Amino acid sequence: MPRVIASLDELQSLAGGPEVAASSWFAVPQEMIDSFAAVSGDRQWIHVDTDRAKEQSPWGTTIAHGFLTLSLLSRMAAEAFALQIGQSATINYGLNKVRFPAPVRAGSRIRGHFSLLGCGVRPGGVEVVWQVTVEAEGQEKPVCVADWVLRVVTGTEV
pLDDT in tens, 86-121: 899 999 999 999 999 999 999 999 999 999 999 999
Pairwise CA distance, residues 50 & 41, whole Å:
17
Q: Which of these, 87, 90, 118, lies nearest to 11 by C-alpha position?
A: 118
Q: Is the pLDDT of residue 13 over 80?
A: yes
Sequence-ordered list of residues with C-beta below 8 angstroms from that of 15, at least 6 positions apart, any chain: 116, 117, 118, 119
Domain assignment present for 49: no
Domain assignment present for 46: no
Query: pLDDT digits over 16-63, tens only?
Result: 999 999 999 999 999 999 999 999 999 999 999 999 999 999 999 999
Domain assignment present for 41: no
Pairwise CA distance, residues 21 & 112, whole Å:
8
Domain assignment present for 126: yes
Pairwise CA distance, residues 1 & 73, whole Å:
17
Pairwise CA distance, residues 39 & 28, whole Å:
16
Predicted structure pTM score: 0.94
Task: Work out how many domains the chain is built from and give that number.
Answer: 1
Q: For position 158, what pLDDT does the model report?
A: 57
Domain assignment present for 48: no
Domain assignment present for 55: no
3 state DSSP class of 46: helix
Boundaries of domain holding 15 = 3-28+66-153
Residue 71 dihedral angles phi and psi, to the nearest 5°: -65, -20
Q: For position 83, what pLDDT does the model report?
A: 93
Decide which of 1 and 137 is more confident: 137
Domain assignment present for 114: yes
CA distances from 38 to 35, 65, 68 (A): 5, 12, 12
3 state DSSP class of 12: helix
CATH label of the domain that carries residue 111? 3.10.129.10
Residue 78 dihedral angles phi and psi, to the nearest 5°: -60, -35
Domain assignment present for 132: yes
